[in-house]
Amino acid sequence: MKAVAVNLSDWRMLGLPWFSGRCRYTNTWSVEQLEGTYMLELGGVNHCAQIWINGRLADTRLWRPYRADITSLLRPGENEITILVSNLASNERRHMLVDEGMALGWNRYWNEDNMDRDSRNYVSGLLGPVRLLHVISPKP
């Protein structure tokens, strides 16, 4: 597996309209002091995400809000944040149906405009913006 730097965007824009599976996003953040609460907010995600902090699972989010309290998993200094994003199997399945249909002879003239690979694929991926929120409660 090779790591590739990408901007947060729909997997279709990255040349993966047919892909169904998981992608891993990693980054490091430095935290100087561990007072208060730290929340990791993922912004837009299609369709589910696992949030890992320093190799430990923080949360699995299947729907909005894509946010997790990561306070207990942080350590002073540099922290590794990994987000595993999974999409639906429908994008790959739609792509395969076209090939299967053509193999069966379904690409005759009456199906010519109905066998479209990419136009109805679902948005997939980590769309962001990803933010680390630091909440400090006022002292009484």
How far does Cα 30 stand from its chain's mean position?
A: 22
Residue 99 belongs to a domain: no
Range of the domain at 37: 11-88+123-131
CATH of the domain at 17: 2.60.120.260
Residue 111 belongs to a domain: no
Q: What is the mean pLDDT of residues 32-51?
A: 94
Which pTM does this prediction carry? 0.79
Residue 136 belongs to a domain: no
Residue 80 belongs to a domain: yes
- Identify the residue whose tokens are 């942080």: 74
Residue 101 belongs to a domain: no
Residue 93 belongs to a domain: no
pLDDT digits (tens, 9 = 90+) for 75-131: 999 999 999 999 988 777 776 766 666 666 655 555 555 555 555 778 899 999 999
Residue 108 belongs to a domain: no
Question: Using an 8 Å Cβ cutoff, are 54 and 73 in contact?
Answer: yes
| H helical segments located in 45-129 | 90-103
Count of the separate structural domains present in the chain: 1
- List, in order, residues 6 or more apart from 44 with CB less than 8 Å away: 66, 126, 127, 128
- Helix (H) / strand (E) containing 41: strand 37-41
Residue 35 belongs to a domain: yes
Question: Using an 8 Å Cβ cutoff, are 57 and 51 in contact?
Answer: yes
Q: What is the mean pLDDT of residues 12-34?
A: 89
